[in-house]
Amino acid sequence: MTALLEGKTALVTGSVQGIGLAIARELAGEGARIVLHGLATPEQVAHAEAVLHAAGAPEVRFFDADLRDVAAIEAMMDEIARWQALDILVNNAGIQRTVPLAEATPEIWDAVLSVNLSAAFHCMRLALPGMAERGYGRVVNIASVHGLVASTNKAPYVASKYGLVGLSRVAALEYAGAGSRESGGVTVNCICPGWTETAIIEPQVVARAAEMGGDRQAGVASLLAEKQPSRRLSDPSEIGALALWLCAPVAHNVTGTAIPVDGGWTAQ
């Protein structure tokens, strides 16, 4: 039986750990070549490569492009194109700074916007034309529940994620007519996770646990009680499974969406 993504090549930014690695593993499991990306130690890279090969990736290549640097992004995308045509782009890399609006420095604003939004834009502008020419392409942008609703002390992050949802909808409209049902078409979608067990939420967990006398479990429960009605953290593998489905041929008419995985947060 032919693997769903056999012969396809996928770039997943920020994929040496967490949600990014979980997505890359799901794509690898269906036969995709994986472009691994991140700022990581040699040991972290070796571990991620081993995970992806074990999952079924026929090839894995690693890039450490600094996503704050447009020239570095362009060089990475050019090298990927010279290796293989890029069929799937998952913009997952992201950073967060939790700080009141009045204390958000220009440096914090620029860093968050450049990684979370501008980098996705540059990768998309370089990848989408080729996808359209070939009649198949998938862009999956990992936004956030904060691309749909706001929270205090997260102005740069919320702005970047709202921007990513809007950018994705524009791209979806511009490329909606590319390809066909038979070729798979070109789609652009966002996944908007709520509380998910990743390193990016760890500072908030630690801070809340400190308020609970150092009890981590109580800190997690307190965070979830405020926003996420299910009171359950998502596992990164669950985001990976949704990303894989969006890349399937059956999803050719699912485009321009922002799909929350948030335990009911945005239903309130």
Which pLDDT score, from 0 to 100, does residue 51 have? 98
Which pLDDT score, from 0 to 100, does residue 90 have? 99
In terms of DSSP bridges, do strands 60-63 and 88-91 run parallel, antiparallel, or are they unpaired? unpaired
Is 1's pLDDT higher than 80? no
pLDDT band at residue 232 under the 50/70/90 scheme:
confident
Is 221's pLDDT higher than 90? no
Q: Is 136 among the residues known to form the active site?
A: no
Domain 9-194+235-254 superfamily per CATH = NAD(P)-binding Rossmann-like Domain (3.40.50.720)
pLDDT in tens, 6-34: 999 999 999 999 999 999 999 999 999 99
Give the lowest-confidence range in 106-110, 149-153, 215-219. Answer: 215-219
Burial class (CB in 10 A: 0-12, 13-18, 19+), 260: buried
pLDDT in tens, 161-210: 999 999 999 999 999 999 999 999 999 999 999 999 887 778 878 889 89
Pick the catalytic residue from 136, 157, 162, 175. 157
Is 222's pLDDT higher than 90? no
CA gap 26, 8 in Å, rounded: 13
Structure tokens at 258: 């922002």
This prediction's pTM: 0.94
Share of the chain above pLDDT 90, in %: 87
Chain centre to alpha carbon of residue 121: 13
Asked if residue 67 lies in contact with residue 114, where contact means CB atoms within 8 angstroms, the answer is: yes
> What is the dihedral sign for C-alpha 218, 219, 220, 225?
positive
CA gap 56, 27 in Å, rounded: 9
Task: Find where tokens 């524009």 sit.
Answer: 170
| Ranges for all domains in the chain classified under CATH 3.40.50.720 | 9-194+235-254
